[in-house]
């Protein structure tokens, strides 16, 4: 008995100083000898730390069946299942397998980091699978207040989303997808000021929700401000265009769609955009442009091994009958060349007009907004007005002692951002609000 006690003490000491290899040998002998829950948990801990998951998983199954109420044992089993099973499931793994594994872990009542990792694994898989019912089911399994507000930092040192802001992103998207747009807008309004780095993405969700509600003017206003305040992503311009189209301004919608298409190089990402352009061009009587975009979509889908939906094939056939003897583009390259020529033609005219139009705009005086300082290593920041429009300014132009969120008064000078090729505003005469 004395020998067993000494072995236990030595194994524990080795484990505590992280000498897992030597501790493992002692725990294996102890587990065979005693079958004791402490020896089993110690052995499992060493196997996990040494990433010997094949052995660890077998032992975890045995231990949780034998000692389900022993907390140390249960925690070790949870982490073995997370590190040895759940984390090993790649992005290509089926959602069903991810959920099955996560449910097994959640049945053991994980807390803290273990619960977060499990829930977020399911949320990420469900979102990528476009399975929003699962997102809505799992996002409520963890409280947002339990999650960190500290932004994650990538290898380059750039700050990104925090766990809490990611949770809200899943939650709001899920509400929109199930049609609960009013609740989605309510949450955006509640949290918008908490996450200044994610402001663009949260406002975009608010615009989507308003579109869903049929509140098209408000949706357009938000997208318009976003496109002025930030370099618009192609997908955001596509969403913006659909709002403008649904309002009835089809020519304006087409310009936005062309801008979206010309701003992205991955054709496979834009197949739905090409279809929307093709349908809109057909409605406007631009039959050759319509056909070129639909044929481009067809070639891209074929190249990726995707099926081509029947409506696309039928619409191309209809357009061929309307156009007459002119042959449709015979290759992806030819179709893309035709489309890019049309994008350049229309956008070139628009850009010339924009370069001139900003000079006609008048200075806006007496505006009020809150300072959003952003990253400390950048010389510029933004002032967010009450209508959610943001205005560029240099930090050197701010009055002394300004902190993030301070309210200021300012004027806005018309400008034009040549890099982003759009009208913009620059804040000047910035003062503390009195």
Which is more confident, 160 or 271?
271
**pLDDT over threshold 50, residue 272:** yes
Check whether domain 361-432 has CATH 3.90.226.10, yes or no = no
Residue 404 to residue 410: CA distance in whole angstroms: 16
Q: What is the mean pLDDT of residues 89-104?
A: 95
CA distance 380 to 432: 18
Contact 294, 316 (CB under 8 A): yes
Name the helix (H) or strand (E) containing 367: strand 364-372
Among candidate residues 108, 95, 41, 30, the one with its CA nearest the CA of residue 73: 41
Note the pTM of the prediction, 2 decimals.
Answer: 0.77
pLDDT for residue 390: 82
Band (421; pLDDT cuts 50, 70, 90): low
pLDDT digits (tens, 9 = 90+) for 364-384: 888 888 998 888 778 888 898
* Other beta carbons within 10 Å of 329: 19
Tokens read off for 111: 């807390």
Q: Does domain 2-84 have CATH number 3.40.50.1000?
A: no
Per-residue model confidence as pLDDT tens digits over 224-236: 988 876 678 899 9
- Asked whether residue 1 carries a pLDDT value surpassing 50, the answer given is no
Contacts of 262 (CB under 8 A, 6+ apart): 340, 343, 344, 347
- Please answer whether residues 132 and 177 qualify as being in contact, where contact means their C-beta atoms are separated by less than 8 angstroms: yes
Lowest mean pLDDT among 58-67, 119-128, 420-429: 420-429
Say how far apart CA 318 and CA 290 lie, in whole Å.
Answer: 11
Distance CA 106, CA 215 (A): 40
Q: Give the pLDDT confidence of 301-357 residue by residue, as tens digits.
A: 999 999 999 999 999 999 999 997 678 888 999 999 999 999 988 877 555 444 434
pLDDT for the residue numbered 247: 95
Same fold? 2-84, 163-357: yes
- Residue 391: predicted pLDDT: 86
Alpha-carbon gap, residue 295 to 147, rounded angstroms: 47
Structure tokens at 379: 């010389």
Dihedral sign from CA coordinates of 48, 151, 177, 294: negative
Reported in sequence order, the residue ranges of 159-317 that DSSP labels E, i.e. its strands, are: none
pLDDT digit string, tens, across residues 213-270: 999 999 999 999 888 766 788 999 999 999 999 999 999 999 999 999 987 888 999 9
Q: Where are the domains of the chain?
A: 2-84, 87-142, 163-357, 361-432
Specify the CATH number for 163-357; select among 1.10.3720.10, 3.40.50.1970, 1.25.40.10, 3.90.870.10. 1.25.40.10
Per-residue pLDDT tens digits for 34-55: 999 999 999 999 999 999 999 9
């Amino acid at each position: 008995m004395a020998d067993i006690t000494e072995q236990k003490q030595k194994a524990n000491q080795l484990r505590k100083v992280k000498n897992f290899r030597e501790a493992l040998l002692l725990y294996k002998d102890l587990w065979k000898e005693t079958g004791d829950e402490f020896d089993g948990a110690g052995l499992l801990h060493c196997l996990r730390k040494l990433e010997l998951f094949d052995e660890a998983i077998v032992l975890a199954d045995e231990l949780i069946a034998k000692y389900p109420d022993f907390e140390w044992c249960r925690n070790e089993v949870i982490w073995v299942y997370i590190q040895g099973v759940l984390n090993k499931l790649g992005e290509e793994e089926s959602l069903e397998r991810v959920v099955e594994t996560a449910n097994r872990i959640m049945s053991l009542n994980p807390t803290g980091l273990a619960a977060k990792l499990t829930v977020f694994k399911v949320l990420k898989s469900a979102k990528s699978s476009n399975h929003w019912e699962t997102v809505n089911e799992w996002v409520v399994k963890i409280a947002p207040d339990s999650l960190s507000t500290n932004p994650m930092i990538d290898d380059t040192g750039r700050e990104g989303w925090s766990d809490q802001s990611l949770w809200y992103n899943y939650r709001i998207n899920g509400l929109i997808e199930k049609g609960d747009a009013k609740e989605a807008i309510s949450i955006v309004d509640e949290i918008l000021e908490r996450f200044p780095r994610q402001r663009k993405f949260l406002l975009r969700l608010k615009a989507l929700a308003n579109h869903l509600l049929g509140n098209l003017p408000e949706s357009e206003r938000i997208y318009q401000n976003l496109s002025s305040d930030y370099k618009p992503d192609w997908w955001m311009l596509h969403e913006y265009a659909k709002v403008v189209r649904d309002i009835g301004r089809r020519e304006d919608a087409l310009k936005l769609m062309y801008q979206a298409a010309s701003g992205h190089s991955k054709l496979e990402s834009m197949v739905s955009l090409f279809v929307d352009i093709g349908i809109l061009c057909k409605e406007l009587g631009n039959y050759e442009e319509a056909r070129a975009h639909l044929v481009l979509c067809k070639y891209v889908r074929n190249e990726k091994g995707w099926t081509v939906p029947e409506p696309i094939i039928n619409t191309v056939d209809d357009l061929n009958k309307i156009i007459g003897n002119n042959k449709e583009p015979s290759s992806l390259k030819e179709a893309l060349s035709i489309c890019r020529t049309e994008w350049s033609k229309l956008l070139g005219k628009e850009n010339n007009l924009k370069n001139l139009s900003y000079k006609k705009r008048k200075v806006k005086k007496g505006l009020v907004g809150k300072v959003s300082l952003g990253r400390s290593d950048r010389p510029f920041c933004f002032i967010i007005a009450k209508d959610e429009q943001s205005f560029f300014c240099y930090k050197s132009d701010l009055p002394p002692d300004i902190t993030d969120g301070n309210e200021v008064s300012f004027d806005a000078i018309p400008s034009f951002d040549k890099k982003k090729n759009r009208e913009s505003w620059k804040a000047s005469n910035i003062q503390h609000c009195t």
